[in-house]
Amino acid sequence: MGRTPLDAPERQQEVFAAVLAVLAEVGYARFNMDLVAARARASKSSLYQRWPSKARLIMAALRANLPVLPQPDEGSFAEDVRQILRSWGEPMPFDTAGIFLGLLEGSRQDADLARLREEHVDRAYTVHLQVAVDRAKARGELPQGLHSGVLITALISTFVLMSEEQGVIDDIVDGLLRPLLS
């Protein structure tokens, strides 16, 4: 009896889980199709037939596993950020920090990965924060001259780097963001 084809949804998810686990464990530089093929019990040639590069395979895995992100309107920037970060922090079966660090490392080495990451992953995470920043500026909670890109990057970076710590979302909102807004 043969293996389920790679285009079957359950088989594809097995491959994608292997991709994300390998990326988190070894980073982008050491990530390769051999490691994924062994973990997913697939042939390297079938992976390359479907995804011609490791950057495209990684992006396909990430797109398939992006959480559904809400656009909260809690009436304050701090509470909007809290809800957005909570949606990111929902239990995920993957090492989020390891994956993001692998993506950042790879984006410095691979222009295709950097472009794909920006188009598909960065936008998915930043759009909600940008809407919250724009609303907060309109309400007068944030200064109009504030560089929203830097603030958003700081929030994302802090969350990703500290995501394993207990209570990190409340620490970011109550210990960092609220004092800055006061």
What is the predicted pLDDT for the residue at 91? 62
Tens digit of each residue's pLDDT (9 = 90 or more) over 112-140: 999 999 988 888 889 999 999 999 999 99
Clarify whether residues 147 and 59 are in a common domain.
no
Clarify whether residues 171 and 85 are in a common domain.
yes
Rounded Cα distance between 2 and 46, Å, is 14
Tens digit of each residue's pLDDT (9 = 90 or more) over 29-60: 999 999 999 999 999 999 999 999 999 999 99
Q: Has this prediction a pTM greater than 0.85?
A: no
Clarify whether residues 80 and 158 are in a common domain.
yes
Tens digit of each residue's pLDDT (9 = 90 or more) over 71-119: 999 999 999 999 999 888 766 677 877 888 899 999 999 999 999 999 8
Confidence tier at 68 by pLDDT (50, 70, 90): confident
Domain that holds residue 137: 68-181
What is the predicted pLDDT for the residue at 1? 43
How many domains is the chain partitioned into structurally? 2
What is the predicted pLDDT for the residue at 162? 82
What is the pLDDT averaged over residues 9-13?
93
Rounded Cα distance between 133 and 138, Å, is 9
Clarify whether residues 78 and 58 are in a common domain.
no
Q: Is the dihedral of CA 24, 104, 42, 38 positive or negative?
A: negative
Confidence tier at 2 by pLDDT (50, 70, 90): low
Clarify whether residues 73 and 52 are in a common domain.
no
Question: What is the radius of gyration, based on Cα positions, of the chain?
Answer: 18
CATH (domain of 169): 1.10.357.10
Clarify whether residues 78 and 126 are in a common domain.
yes
Domain assignment of residue 81, yes or no: yes
Rounded Cα distance between 19 and 107, Å, is 16
Domain assignment of residue 173, yes or no: yes
